[in-house]
Amino acid sequence: MRLSDRTANVLLLLISLSVCALLLILATRWLRSGSDAALNDYGALISFDPTRTGGHLLPNVQQAVQGASTGQAVNWRTDAHGFRIDGELSLLPAVGVRRIFLLGDSFVDGMRTDQRLTIGALLEDALRARGEAVEVVISGHNNPANAWYWLQTHSPQFKPTEVILGLTLGNDLFAQNLHAGMQPDARAGRVRLVDAGMLDGDLRRMPAYLPASAYRAPSWWRDQWYAQTFALRGALAEQLGWFADSIPPFAGASKPRKVWDRDIYASLGLFHVPINGFAEFSYASNRETLNGIATLLRERGIAFSVVIFPVRHQVSPLDWQRLVDVLALNPTRFDLDAPNRRLLADCASLKISCLDPTVAMRAHMRAGLEPLYRPRGDMHFNEAGNRFIARMLVARRPAPIDASAK
């Protein structure tokens, strides 16, 4: 069958673009072939060990590590416990100083982020600037159940006055470790470690594909166009930095019309309507974890709050559209605010203060202001995103009383 002129032109354009991109990429690799050895990246800085007093970050690290761009170095430091702070954390806070522990995963750790530009460091700086005597301590944990175990086992020696738990939408729910490596204890507010190897839940719980109703009608030409153009953008972004902010968010091993319900990036099963049984199980386990942490900390007289970290396709309409395009999704079968409503309702019923910045971040993005997430489809906040979260955490706290004004 003879191709039409229009079809032939499209094919020629795609082939030409691919050849040009390949030549550019090969040239870039050749130019970089003599560069210095690669910097340590985030994966080399973490190791789950339930006996470690600081969390999952390796202790006594002080080095330049990989930043947002290839070859970009950022400062990374942890103390002897594994807390990401400057200096060494004493067991007891100084007299009159409030000690705030900020717990969470790579968003809290500050993946590829300079030491003083993490959410914790920015929060500490902002609170001190308005007259509060505080120290903010970053303690890394793969998921909330691991954080619960650490709070129960290791935190008492450091005398926290407040705990803020960062909860990442997606993997913090689907990689929930409760009823896997951790099991609820018979005592209220307590959890037991049963398998230290299950740091991210039971990996034998295999993901499932979203149902056929989650996808748009097949169109070979449209699917090929999106696949090729986004692949080209991704290659150019990775090698040259071009189109770095115009490729779809990461979607793990998902492919068009074969989308996993859970992965460490998009976790689209949380947004599909209706959600499946594993998502319901994950929500129930997360609620049980939050209740356990709240019970434990109330018993100890420690303030507790949660901050939700939305994934980028919730915040950026353009990112969501790119994900729809490349995975052939039917957007009418997804509710991007569903996880937030569920978590806010759970926190309200458990009397836990919860900050959800999603609506404010979405308004920021729709206004065409600076990006809040890393380029190349990365799901993590960039420096502007860290500042945004830190400002919201400060804004929700009452201003300190000025004793001199009395």
Q: Tens digit of pLDDT for each residue in 97-153?
A: 999 999 999 999 999 999 999 999 999 999 999 999 999 999 999 999 999 999 999
Could you name the CATH architecture of 42-211+256-399?
A: 3-Layer(aba) Sandwich (3.40)
Encoded tokens for 383 = 């420096």
The least confident of 159-168, 200-209, 383-392 is: 200-209
DSSP-assigned beta bridge partners for residue 135 = 99
Phi, psi of 289 (to 5 degrees): -65, -50
Binning pLDDT at 50, 70 and 90, where does residue 402 land? low
pLDDT at 76: 98
* pLDDT of res. 33: 43
Q: What is the mean pLDDT of residues 366-372?
A: 95
Mean pLDDT on 172-178: 93
20 — pLDDT class (breaks 50, 70, 90): low
Between 358-366 and 317-327, two packed helices, what is the crossing angle to 10 degrees?
Answer: 90
Segment 21-80, tens digit of pLDDT: 444 444 444 444 444 458 999 999 999 999 999 999 999 999 999 998 878 899 999 999
Question: Strand locations in 87-161, DSSP E?
Answer: 98-104, 134-140
CA-CA distance, 123 to 386, in Å (whole number)? 9
Domain ranges of the chain: 42-211+256-399
Task: Return the pLDDT at 308.
Answer: 98
Average pLDDT, the chain: 90
Mean of pLDDT values over 305-313: 97
pLDDT digits (tens, 9 = 90+) for 253-290: 899 999 999 988 999 999 999 999 999 999 999 999 99
Cα–Cα distance, 255 to 257 (Å, whole number): 6
Is the pTM for the entire model greater than 0.85?
yes
Alpha carbon distance, N-terminus to C-terminus of the chain: 89
Give whole-number Cα distances, 327 to 45, 260, 279, in Å: 32, 11, 20
Q: Is a pLDDT exceeding 50 seen at residue 199?
A: yes
Q: In this predicted model, what pLDDT tens digit does every residue of 343-360 receive, in sequence order?
A: 999 999 999 999 999 999
Distance CA 129, CA 124 (A): 9
Nearest to 162 by CA among 309, 340, 306, 310: 306
Mean pLDDT calculated for residue range 183-188: 95
Percent of the chain surpassing pLDDT 90: 78
List all residues 6 or more positions away from 290 whose beta carbon is below 8 Å from its beta carbon: 144, 165, 306, 346, 347, 350, 352
Give me the sign of the Cα torsion angle 224, 227, 228, 230. positive
The β-bridge relationship of strands 191-193 and 73-77 is unpaired
The pLDDT value given to residue 37: 59
Query: The tokens of 42 are what?
Result: 């985030």
Phi and psi based region of residue 376 (left: phi greater than 0; alpha: psi -120 to 50; beta: remaining):
left
Q: CA 55, 59, 61 angle in degrees (round to 5)?
A: 135
Least confident of 119-133, 198-212, 313-327: 198-212
